[in-house]
Structures are given as C-alpha cells and as structure tokens.
C-alpha cells in the first residue's frame, strides 16, 4: 500500500516533534533520550542522527565538566582544612605564651587565616565555583571576628547593607576579606572605650565599580593622624592590599573611623 502525502506529512511531523523533545531533554542534561533513525536517506533521518551524535558529545563533555568541578571542590576543601590546621596549631601555641604582644600577633594571624579558610569553605559548598555571595561571606566573617575578639560584656553590633545575590570572584573576595578583617579588628580593639558601639558595612555598585564602605561610631583616629607615618601593621596591610587590588582607598577621620574602598 502506497503512502499518501498526508501520511508522509504526519510521519514528518512526528519526527520533528520527537527531535524537539530530545533536544529539550538535552537542555535538561538528560542524555538518555534518542531520536529514532529509520535508515532512510531523507533529511529528518539525517537531522535525527546528528542530534543523537550531539547528545553523545554533550554527555561526554558534561561528565568531564562534572569531574573537573568535583576536583575543584576537593581542592577548596583541602585548602580549607589545611588553613584550619594552621589556625588550630596557632591556637595551641597561644596557650603556652604569656606575653600579651605575642598573643595579639597570634590572634591576628589566626583571624587572617580564618578569613581565607572561610572563602574556600563557601566555595566548596557553592553551586558556582567561581563566585561567592559577598553579603553572606561578609556577615559570617564579621561574626567570626567578633566571636574571637570581643569581651564577654561586649555590646558591639553590626549593621549590613548589601544586596542579596551580590557575587564576587575568589580573586577579589580573598583580599577583600583580609581588608575587612583588619578594619573590623581595629574597630573592636580601639574604637569603643566602653566596649559598646556599632560597625556598619555597606556594599554597592556605582558606575560599573564595586564600593565597600565600613564605618564605626567610635572615638575615631587621633588628631593629625597620617596613614603613611602613623599606621599600625593592620592599616599597613589595608593599604598594601588595596594597592594590590588596584583599588582606591579613602579614609574619613572625623566622627569615628570610616573607610571607602572602590575597585573594579
């Protein structure tokens, strides 16, 4: 029995629909679907065979990508673990030291290490291994620092103004975390005579640049303070890290300490 034109159109439509279904399945990373190839020489068989080959190539590359992602996750996990081991060793070392200056140095070093470990911890659990949500990182980092440095009767609070889904890559978030660590540490140690006050952190975008602003309502810097000549190690690190990032650092010395860091 001969196939009518109408029957052929129906068969062609069915082939087209099946091809589209398979392509949509590939878009969902479901590579179990295949188009049926009848062994004919028509264009639909050729397209179906091509779609099947595409599915095989995509499946192979997706498996490879997943393997790479898993390897990257493992690297971040191991880096985080190693940094935490170093932090723990410093903590053990501090138990045998009575000199307050050395204790402060060890505490500062631990916080710097922990700020980097937190980046790798978040990347290990992130869906996107290239970016970290800045707001979540900054809030967790701030809480970690105050838990380490504050006194039992501390009434120092944080306020945050950072949009959700504000992401930064690892090359920016690590130096930024170190800068924040130094600024927050200085505020907790020196800004509040009565161990009471507020540290506000804001992050925004302006003219295609990132702007990080940190301010406390403490006693501020000494009169005639000069960052070039009067800085402690923490402020020197802030200056050095902003320069390494190609960032612009502005400091407001009136009415508490305020920092504005602008970077690409």
Gap between the Cα atoms of 122 and 132, Å rounded: 7
pLDDT of residue 1: 41
Q: 222: exposed, middle or buried (C-beta count within 10 Å: 0-12, 13-18, 19+)?
A: exposed
Kindly report the CATH class assigned to 145-264.
alpha beta
Gap between the Cα atoms of 114 and 83, Å rounded: 7
| Residue 97 main-chain phi, psi, to 5 deg | -105, 130
Tokens of 109: 């070093």
DSSP state of 187: I
| Residue 207 main-chain phi, psi, to 5 deg | 55, 50
A 10 A CB-CB count for 162 gives: 17
Nearest one of 114, 106, 107 to 84, comparing CA atoms:
114
Structural contact between residues 210 and 263, judged by C-beta atoms closer than 8 angstroms: yes
Neighbour-count burial for 20-47, b at 16+ CB within 10 Å, e otherwise:
eebeeebeeeebebebebeeeeeebbee
Task: Encode the chain (264 residues) as per-residue pLDDT tens digits.
Answer: 444 555 556 666 777 777 777 877 776 777 888 888 776 666 777 778 888 888 888 777 766 666 767 767 777 777 777 778 877 888 887 787 788 877 777 888 888 888 888 887 887 777 776 788 999 999 999 998 998 887 778 899 999 999 888 898 888 888 889 899 999 998 988 889 888 999 999 999 888 899 999 999 998 887 777 777 777 777 888 888 899 889 999 988 777 899 999 999
| Residue 56 main-chain phi, psi, to 5 deg | -65, -40
In terms of DSSP bridges, do strands 209-216 and 167-169 run parallel, antiparallel, or are they unpaired? unpaired
Q: Where are the domains of the chain?
A: 5-61, 145-264
Q: Which stretches within the chain are classed as H helix?
A: 5-27, 43-94, 100-125, 134-149, 170-186, 233-245
pLDDT of residue 11: 62
Whole-prediction pTM: 0.69
DSSP assignment of 76-145 equals HHHHHHHHHHHHHHHHHHHTT---HHHHHHHHHHHHHHHHHHHHHHHHHH-SSTTEEEHHHHHHHHHHHH
**What confidence tens digit (pLDDT) does each residue in 7-51 have?**
556 666 777 777 777 877 776 777 888 888 776 666 777 778 888
């Amino acid at each position: 029995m001969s196939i009518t034109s109408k029957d052929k159109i129906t068969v062609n439509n069915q082939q087209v629909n099946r091809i589209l279904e398979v392509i949509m399945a590939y878009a969902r990373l479901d590579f179990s679907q295949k188009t049926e190839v009848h062994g004919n020489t028509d264009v639909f068989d050729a397209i179906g065979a091509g779609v099947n080959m595409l599915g095989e190539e995509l499946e192979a590359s997706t498996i490879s990508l997943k393997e790479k992602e898993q390897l990257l996750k493992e690297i971040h996990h191991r880096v985080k673990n190693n940094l935490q081991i170093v932090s723990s060793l410093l903590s053990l070392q501090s138990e045998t030291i009575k000199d307050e200056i050395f204790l402060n140095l060890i505490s500062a070093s631990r916080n710097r290490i922990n700020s980097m470990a937190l980046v790798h911890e978040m990347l290990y659990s992130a869906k996107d291994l290239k970016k970290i949500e800045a707001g979540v990182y900054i809030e967790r980092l701030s809480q970690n620092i105050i838990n380490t440095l504050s006194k039992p009767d501390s009434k120092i609070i944080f306020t945050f103004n950072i949009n959700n889904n504000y992401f930064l890559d690892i090359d920016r978030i690590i130096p930024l975390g170190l800068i924040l660590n130094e600024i927050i540490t200085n505020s907790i140690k020196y800004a509040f005579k009565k161990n009471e006050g507020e540290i506000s952190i804001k992050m925004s975008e302006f003219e295609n640049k990132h702007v990080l602003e940190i301010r406390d309502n403490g006693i501020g810097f000494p009169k005639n303070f000069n960052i070039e000549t009067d800085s402690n190690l923490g402020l020197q690190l802030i200056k050095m890290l902003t320069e390494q990032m190609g960032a612009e650092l502005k400091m407001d010395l009136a009415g508490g300490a305020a920092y504005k860091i602008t970077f690409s």
